Amino acid sequence: MKNALVFGGNIFVGKAIAEKLLKLGYTVYVLNRGNRPNPKGSIHLEADRNDLNDVLRACKGIDFDIVVDSSAYSPEQTKIAIQAINHGIKHYIHISSASVYIDENVYPYTEDSKRGANSVWGEYSMNKYLCEELLFKQYRENGFPVTILRPFYIYGPENNLDRESYVIKRLLTKNPIIVPGRGLPLIQFGYIDDMCYAIELICKSNICLGKAYNISGNEYISLKGWVEICAKVLKVDARIISVDTANTGYKAREWFPFRDVTLIGSCDRIKRDIGFEPKYTFEQGMKKIVESIDLNRLIDGFEISDIEKSILKNYSIMV
């Protein structure tokens, strides 16, 4: 039986990846500090991934065929991961981010778009870029078997970020939803099961070594359209207030789950190389999410934020 290691592995993306590898028949190890329950059937390696000696101790005597790093947010963390497990692995899959692209207003992004520090995404994008550069360098100089995935927005059941839950709470409580950027920026969602399916295909193919791939669904959706699809799935009417962000006195992320910028890309390369094709439309994925949530519990005691109330007051809208 083959061994797989997932860095993280106990929350949303990492958890879904670990569960997918378990279904594929791997013996799955998850490395984390043990702050949350780990997937049933996995083997917990308790360690602080920021401490090389701690990771070396936890992984001692174990050879991994597949390693998936879903929780590296700095080049230092990536360096430690490489040092600790670089012995006989067949494939190292690094979960990066589409935020590494810096060609603003040149869409859709492709894997050849310019990368680096992005003023919109700040330090997060720079660190993700530096993680990638370290891994590419290891591939060029040492043949390190890496494949990099650059997801756009990942969504699905158990999302730890208040995105799908954000809009569901407001729709079900009949509160207005204030959409920044006049609702026009385009974003792109990838359902979590689709990304796990892509990882399954990558594990079977050496053609992916040394490459990076955009990964997402096929649709480009406006911020306003995102709310409208969620309302359709819930079978409720949406009270959408589309605003010019600059006129609110706040940054979009101070009250809304997304920045008021477009983030979309082409996933043609991964489709061409390994035959990946998303199985879920955004609407289909949202239906799966709604089915998985206790909606009454989600909205129990919910109120919109003071910032939302302030913006609505300026627009003479009472809640």
Q: Output the pLDDT for position 88.
A: 84
Q: What is the pLDDT of residues 203-246, one digit of tens each?
A: 999 999 999 999 999 999 999 999 999 999 999 999 999 999 99
Do 177 and 60 share a structural domain?
no
Do 75 and 98 share a structural domain?
yes
Do 240 and 134 share a structural domain?
no
Q: How confident is the model at residue 87 (pLDDT cuts 50, 70, 90)?
A: confident
CA distance 84 to 92: 13
CATH number, domain at 91?
A: 3.40.50.720
Do 196 and 103 share a structural domain?
yes
Q: Helices H, strands E: what count in the chain?
A: 11, 13
Q: What is the pLDDT of residues 254-313, one digit of tens each?
A: 999 999 999 999 999 999 999 999 999 999 999 999 999 999 999 999 999 999 999 999
- Global pTM value: 0.96
Distances in Å between the alpha carbon of 158 and those of 13, 72, 308?
9, 20, 25
Q: What number is the average pLDDT over the span 129-153?
A: 97
Query: Domain range spanning residue 227?
Result: 173-183+221-263+283-314
Do 194 and 270 share a structural domain?
yes
Do 246 and 206 share a structural domain?
no
The answer to whether residue 128 is domain-embedded is yes
The angle, 0 to 180 degrees and rounded to 10, between the axes of the packed helices 164-172 and 223-234 is: 60
The answer to whether residue 83 is domain-embedded is yes
CA distance 150 to 188: 12
Q: What number is the average pLDDT over the span 181-198?
A: 98
The 10 Å Cβ neighbour count of residue 170 is 22
